[in-house]
Amino acid sequence: MADIDIAQEIPIAAQRPPAASSGIIGWLKANLFNSVFNTILTILAAYFLAVTVPPLIRWAFIDAVWSAPNGQACRGAGACWAFIGEKLRFILFGRFPYAEQWRPLLVVMIIIGLILASCDRRLWGKRLMLLWPTGVVLVGILMWGGVFGLTYVDTELWSGLPLTLILAVIGMVFAFPLAILLALGRRSRLPAVRVVSVAYIELVRGVPLITVLFMASVMLPLFLPSGFTIDKLLRAQVAFILFAAAYLAEVIRGGLQSIPKGQIEAADALGLGYWRRIRLIVLPQALAMVIPPLVNNFIGAFKNTSLVLIIGLFDLLNTANTALTDSNWQGFATETYVFIAAIYFCFCFFMSRYSQMLEREFNRGHRR
């Protein structure tokens, strides 16, 4: 009879899990207050946020001045974004002739387009190899002008964001083949080639970029026959290429070292010569393996372009600095630096996220 009683009992209605182990409270307990030490850390972090964030928001948004006729009217408790509005075109394009500034704008868009296209894995290969030279030629035509009815603009006047992008992108494009040669040289059977490659790589990696830039701006004129001059931008660009090549070479060497010996022996067995072996067997595998560190290297090169202000080129950082010297608008350094920091950040953050994504994809087979 008892059995029947049990069968007739009404089942207990489903209950919600206890509030302390799920939902917001559960999450808080598991992630912020799961031990005494963590509770202290949470309180400290919350205090830090409470002290820093509200004044920052007040400075950047609530008390900020968004439009003002001059610096005097703009001075207050908050940020003066009116200054950025006033100087935006100078900061971005610098001393490029005002009426022609659509050209550097187009250049910036082309370069960003090229970078984005390079991120698409479906385009990797021959199509990118065609896209890049076309893009570089277009950039050259737009910046220099002198053809197709465009007025000629001297490199002295190139400045701002396009200059920064050109230095970084052209620098990497030309440093890359040089770096491959250096990396191959470092692993060469021929002692003379090896010694020269190692000496070059270690020497350049041992000194700061500033010295290489100084060398390009001060010593290069001494190295050349008298009466022969190259312009300042080209000198800086050459310094940049030579510097980046040494770092890239080490990255590529890492890829070369990871190719199993069997691959090379197989290439030998097929009767391939040195260059065909390198081109068809070794490089495709080695380069694919080092793409994430290559992207990181590119981020480094992009940040390093800001050093050209030392030798007097007007990159993004230097145009911003120059904008600060306007006597009508004094004392807005913080706003300006925050603004261009945001520009640099956007580029670098995007690229670093991309490299992290690639790394995850490449490591898919190795994860536990």
Partner 1 sequence: MASETAAIVVRAHRPAPWRDTRLRGIALQIIFVAVIAAIIGFLAYNTTVNLRRQNIATGFGFLEREAAFGIGESLIPYSPADTYARAFLVGLTNTLYVSAIGIVLATILGTLMGLARLSRNWLVAKLAGVYVETFRNIPLALQLLFWWALLRQVAPGPREAWEPLPGVFVSNRGILFPVPLGQPAHLWMAVAFVIGLALAYVVHRWARQRQAETGWQFPAGWAGLGLALGLPLAVFLAYGAPLELDWPVLRGFNFAGGTAFSPEFGALLIGLVVYTGTFIAEIVRAGILAVSWGQSEAAMALGLRPGQRMRLVVLPQALRVIIPPMTSEYLSLTKNSSLAVIIGYPDLVSIANTTMNQTGQAVEGIAMIMAVYLAISLLISLCMNLYNRAVALVER
Rg (CA), the chain: 29
Does 169 bind partner 1 (CB under 8 A)? Our answer is no
Contacts with partner 1, 35-74, as mask; x by CB under 8 A: ---x--xx--xx-xx-------------------------
Q: How do the residues of the chain divide into helix, strand and coil, expressed in percent and rounded to 5?
A: 75, 0, 25
Among 105, 157, 215, 358, binds partner 1 (CB under 8 A): 215
Among 101, 155, 263, 321, binds partner 1 (CB under 8 A): 321
Tell me whether residue 166 is exposed, middle or buried, using C-beta atoms within 10 angstroms of its C-beta: 0 to 12, 13 to 18, 19 or more.
buried
Does 303 bind partner 1 (CB under 8 A)? Our answer is yes
Given the rule CB under 8 A, which of 115-123, 213-221, 236-244, 276-284 is the region that contacts partner 1?
A: 213-221
Residue 292: how many CB atoms within 10 A of its CB? 20
Residue 28 to residues 20, 22, 135: CA-CA distances in angstroms?
Answer: 9, 9, 52
Q: Is the dihedral of CA 131, 132, 136, 137 positive or negative?
A: negative
CB of 1 to partner 1, least distance (A): 52
Q: Would you say 45 or 109 has its CB closer to partner 1?
A: 45
In the DSSP assignment, the letter for residue 313 is: -
Among 263, 285, 306, 322, binds partner 1 (CB under 8 A): 306
Strand partners, 65: 80
In the DSSP assignment, the letter for residue 101 is: T
Does 362 bind partner 1 (CB under 8 A)? Our answer is no
Residue 292 to residues 9, 22, 46, 179: CA-CA distances in angstroms?
Answer: 64, 39, 35, 16
Q: Would you say 44 or 266 has its CB closer to partner 1?
A: 44
In the DSSP assignment, the letter for residue 156 is: G
**Count of all residues that appear for the chain in the document:** 368
Number of H helices, E strands in the chain: 18, 0
Q: Which residues, numbered 248-267, are part of the site for partner 1 (CB under 8 A)?
A: none
CB of 41 to partner 1, least distance (A): 5
- Are the CB atoms for 135 and 110 separated by under 8 Å? yes
Q: Which residues, numbered 262-301, are part of the site for partner 1 (CB under 8 A)?
A: 299
Residue 368 to residues 144, 155, 243, 365: CA-CA distances in angstroms?
Answer: 53, 53, 38, 9
Strand partners, 85: none
Token pair for residue 301? 């090169």
Among 201, 251, 286, 307, binds partner 1 (CB under 8 A): 307
Q: Which residues, numbered 12-41, are part of the site for partner 1 (CB under 8 A)?
A: 31-32, 34, 38, 41
Residue 72 to residues 183, 243, 331, 332: CA-CA distances in angstroms?
Answer: 57, 44, 10, 11
Contacts with partner 1, 333-352, as mask; x by CB under 8 A: xx--xx-xx--xx--xx--x
Q: Using alpha carbons, select from 164, 302, 334, 148 the residue that is nearest to residue 233.
A: 164
Q: Would you say 170 or 193 has its CB closer to partner 1?
A: 193
CB of 254 to partner 1, least distance (A): 12
Q: How many residues bind partner 1 (CB under 8 A)?
A: 57
Contacts with partner 1, 178-207, as mask; x by CB under 8 A: -----------xxxxx--x------x-xxx
Q: Would you say 150 or 220 has its CB closer to partner 1?
A: 220
CB of 284 to partner 1, least distance (A): 24
CB of 224 to partner 1, least distance (A): 6
Among 82, 313, 317, 323, binds partner 1 (CB under 8 A): 317
List interacting residues with partner 1 (CB under 8 A): 31-32, 34, 38, 41-42, 45-46, 48-49, 189-193, 196, 203, 205-211, 214-215, 218-219, 221-226, 299, 303-307, 309-310, 317, 321, 331, 333-334, 337-338, 340-341, 344-345, 348-349, 352, 368
